[in-house]
Structure 1
Amino acid sequence: MAKRIGSDEGFTEIFNREVGFSHPRSISRRISASEVLILLLTARIFLDGYITHSLSLLLVSGIVKKLDLYGKLNGHEGCVNAVEFSSTGDILVSGSDDRQIMLWNLLNGTRTLTYPSGHCENVFQTKFIPFTDDRTIITSGADGQVRLGQILENGKVETKRLGRHHGRVYKLAVLPGDPNVFYSCGEDGFVQHFDIRSSSPTTVLYSSPFTHGCRRHHSSSRIRLNSIAIDPRNPHYLAVGGSDEYARVYDTRRVQLAPVCRHIVPDAPVNTFCPRHLRETNSVHVTGLAYSKASELLVSYNDELIYLFEKNMGFGSSPVGISAEKLQEMEEPQVYTGHRNAQTVKGVNFMGPNDEYVMSGSDCGHIFIWKKKGGKLVRAMLGDRRVVNQLESHPHITFIASCGIERSVKLWTPVSNDVMSLPENIEKVTESNRVGREEQSRVTLTPEVIMHVLRLQRRQTSAFTERRYVLTDVDGDEENEAQFISGLVAGDDDSSERECNVS
């Protein structure tokens, strides 16, 4: 069972009062009156209209600076890669390297359900399907599977595979307000469309490097997709990012649904985003995307920085051939600095009633929170002994869930009176991150060298695979090594495909 968050259940009382379940006098004495007032005012700011926008920002800023570790949810036996709140905010779902899915009751900090996901490898994404009473959960993982978990009335869970990519599937995107439709993106370069009422997925689009024009699908001409996000103001707009420097936005009305096929013509985006200095560099890739409520696109780069793009900052359907004069005229995106994103595929997210803040994990183990406007770092917290991967904000109040290399989910609430908004050593931390990032950029390999290394790895994988099938007794470590090499190559999709016996 999970460890209880606290004996006085302070957060429980705040939550209960916020949703109208308890009388004000029942709030724990440990939570100061000023903190409760700030929490309640913040939740009502844009409903009641009694407080000006500038004052509301001041109140939210005070809350962010008070964020501190409130408790941990223990139970997983591997790194926790995914967390998400339910629409009401009282349940959290998590997925891990242990391939287990866990549901947590946030009102008392206990684990209410655990079930095997059916994935053969690490679980990378867990999401609730809306309007299903938190009983329908979709997952994706390193085995390329996209799976559905259905919680029955008797408490048992039925799982099944909905579809599969050739390569890892890091992210899923649920169509807002739809209890049936969602999308997945994979390292095979495909975006797949799922309707849980249907027996099989359909291909929405395929991403290819701009320099390859209209070449058909090939292992060297695809964008290995890491992230996907849906514009909340226009759900037809789908943003994806992966193994090059561009975030691509597609209009799903302009693509034709078709059976999943490996040989299709790449689709053209309606807009592309990239900082000017990274354009056509082939030295970075996108790890995380997020849309704000105002349709701003947040893009996090591997071993680079985080950028916020407005719609008018895009290159259009193709960034190729844009004149130097036009590039100079384009407005630069807001940038967020201090963290480092090199070791894992990190997400990025917004926080606040109107997405006033941007937050990200870091290789240094810290959680970084910046003001969206201006990019000022306002809060940094040590969230993991090694790496913080994912951060999720509560849908209604200032409350964050984080996960990383450690085996627990951490919860953060504005309950501290004596914590410093920025650690004393923050300058040393950010400088260390900057130096590491710049040193890594100096040894960036050219595309020709990378392709040469991949060809060598492919030959080694083929030789190893042939030897594996000849031998009658294969050592387990060697098998793991073969899978690891295949994962690195991921160029021959058929060779990396592995079957799973769990239905």
Structure 2
Amino acid sequence: MDPTLSENDYPFVCRSSVLPGISSCLTRYLGHLANIFNVKMLPHSSNIATVAGDGQVRVHQVGEIATSGPPATAQLSSRDTCLHRLRCHERRVKRIEMEDSPHLFLTAAEDGTVRQHDLRVAHSCSDYGSCPPPLLRLNFELSSLSLSPLTPFQLVVAGESAYGYLFDRRHAGRFLLEERGMVENGMTHCIRRFGRPASPAVDIRSNREHITGCRMSTQNGHEVLVPYAADAVYLYSTLDQPMEEDSMASAHPSSANNDHSKPMPPTVLGDDSSSTTDDDMDLDIDENASEEENERLIANLDEFVSRDAYSRVPLILPRTRFAGARNVETIKDVNFLGPDDEYVTSGSDDGNFFIWRKDGSLHGLFEGDGSVVNVIEPHPHLPLLATSGIDTTVKLFAPVSGPSTFSRMDSAARIIESNARQSRSYRKLRRHDFTALLAAVTADESPQCSHQ
């Protein structure tokens, strides 16, 4: 299992057993200047990679500390253990995804980029332009990244957007499927979007879209889980046929506006008249206009094209919706469970974590944190899973022969109804905030009365 985080947001390596209360912290690694969001072991090595809110990616040498010697609580500084400190990202780094190599891994950050790091290639991030170009770049914050070892050429990213995006790294040079809507992005191509169908319960036109996580199945390589903020978890398959363009507008009433800070010309998904062509890119730039005005027009055009670029990428709708958990207060991840990924699990704001069967029915409901459960990670081989959240402990769960002390299935109906009610209240609050913001903008732009 991956190393985890302590109450002070230090990565630490621990020794533990499945028996309650038997665990010991071996070492804590210091160095990051802000919250650590993700920690992963590098395959085929004894090193760990960490990413944090300080925008740094660090690789620490664990050595033999985690496998030998008496338990200790030593704090090791970055000077003692840090092998690499990368500052290629411009904003907070949220996720790490390992490849089958001790030298290669991917990171996603709030600057909208996914970068591939090769520890065999030295570079200085302090030198302008010395960092390798990102693998892909989007114009919204990314908070999640996932790939499957069965299909390592594909990766899913998600964040401050109405959609999850599937990119493929195999397409290079001339790409013959661009006429079908697939969009080139650096060294990758966006080949699919994952979105929700229209629903009266989710007013996506008034709420700011936010996907809090994504997960590709490690057992089949085609299933994808996507949890939406203030909504449910959705299961997709990359093998499903995308929607026809004629029905895309009715499936999702939102435009492809991923930049919520600036207005965008209205578009309707599937409407060929709204798609961006080469002719649309030709602006009538006044020869007498100032150079500054022309630069502004070109910049606005680039922003429009960037936001509209993915509106015609084939859209896949979910196979199953998993409801019951509350995903409002913090960032919730999602995961598969079981030897064949036959279960789906997610944390909740109520301190519980939910386990569903693939048909959407609830399989288990357990207390996992004193406040909020954010992350659930299963052991790769043993029937164990670890949960972490807001409180200062990490819980390790194992099967028991009798009833579980932590089971909340007897209160499942009440918990689910309470979560649904609070999620609805949150959506109503967001709609109220959106309406108030529009009213404030309108008031600022209206003429002022001169008769006092």
TM-score by length of 2: 0.67
Q: How does 1:462-477 map to 2 (within 5 A)?
A: none
Structure having the larger proportion of residues in helix: 1
Aligned twin of 1:344: 330
Whichever residue aligns with residue 111 of structure 2, its letter is D
Of all paired residues, the percent bearing the same amino acid is 30
Aligned twin of 2:211: 286
Matched, 1:355 2:365: no
Aligned twin of 1:321: 269
Matched, 1:387 2:358: no
Change (3 A) 1:241 1:313: farther
Q: How does 1:345-494 map to 2 (within 5 A)?
A: 345-372=331-358, 374-419=359-404, 422-445=408-431
Aligned twin of 2:132: 202
Separation in 2 of the partners of 1:399 and 1:276? Answer: 35
Q: Is the 8 A contact 2:35 2:53 kept in 1?
A: yes
Q: How does 1:112-261 map to 2 (within 5 A)?
A: 113-132=26-45, 135-152=46-63, 157-159=80-82, 160-175=84-99, 177-200=100-123, 202-208=132-138, 222-254=139-171
1:283 counterpart SS class: coil
Separation in 1 of the partners of 2:396 and 2:105? Answer: 27
Q: Is the 8 A contact 1:105 1:112 kept in 2?
A: yes
Q: 1:306 aligns with which of 213, 229, 233?
A: 233
String of CA shifts for 1:213-238, please: whole Å, max 9, x gaps: xxxxxxxxx21000000133211111
Alpha-carbon shift at residue 163 of structure 1 (Å): 2.7
Larger RCO (alpha carbons 8 Å, 6+ apart): 1
Alpha-carbon shift at residue 423 of structure 1 (Å): 2.9
Alpha-carbon shift at residue 451 of structure 1 (Å): 9.8
Change (3 A) 1:267 1:405: same
String of CA shifts for 1:415-469, please: whole Å, max 9, x gaps: 1513385432221111010011111112325879779999xxxxxxxxxxxxxxx
Q: Which moved more, 1:266-275 or 1:333-342?
A: 266-275
Change (3 A) 1:162 1:412: same
Unpaired segments of 5 or more residues in structure 2?
A: 67-75, 124-130, 174-184, 249-255, 257-267, 273-311, 442-452
Separation in 2 of the partners of 1:453 and 1:120? Answer: 38
Q: Give the aligned CA root-mean-square deviation in angstroms.
A: 3.4
String of CA shifts for 1:253-282, please: whole Å, max 9, x gaps: 3479xxxxxxx9897511111112279735
Alpha-carbon shift at residue 385 of structure 1 (Å): 1.8
Change (3 A) 1:436 1:106: same
String of CA shifts for 1:179-201, please: whole Å, max 9, x gaps: 21111111110111101112245
TM-score by length of 1: 0.61
Change (3 A) 1:337 1:98: same
Separation in 2 of the partners of 1:250 and 1:316? Answer: 20
Change (3 A) 1:314 1:447: farther
Separation in 2 of the partners of 1:238 and 1:322? Answer: 25
Separation in 2 of the partners of 1:270 and 1:331? Answer: 14
Change (3 A) 1:370 1:323: farther
Aligned twin of 2:197: 276
Change (3 A) 1:405 1:331: closer
String of CA shifts for 1:286-345, please: whole Å, max 9, x gaps: 111111122200001111110000111546999763269x9xx97642000100011111
Change (3 A) 1:396 1:152: closer
Q: Is the 8 A contact 2:47 2:63 kept in 1?
A: no
Whichever residue aligns with residue 193 of structure 2, its letter is T
Change (3 A) 1:438 1:308: same
Whichever residue aligns with residue 102 of structure 2, its letter is P
Separation in 1 of the partners of 2:142 and 2:371? Answer: 25
String of CA shifts for 1:144-170, please: whole Å, max 9, x gaps: 111110124688752131234222222
2:270 counterpart SS class: coil
1:436 counterpart SS class: helix
Q: Is the 8 A contact 2:326 2:350 kept in 1?
A: yes
Separation in 1 of the partners of 2:434 and 2:410? Answer: 41
Separation in 2 of the partners of 1:302 and 1:363? Answer: 11
Separation in 1 of the partners of 2:39 and 2:438? Answer: 33
Whichever residue aligns with residue 11 of structure 2, its letter is I
Matched, 1:102 2:12: yes
Q: How does 1:38-49 map to 2 (within 5 A)?
A: none
Aligned pairs, how many? 338
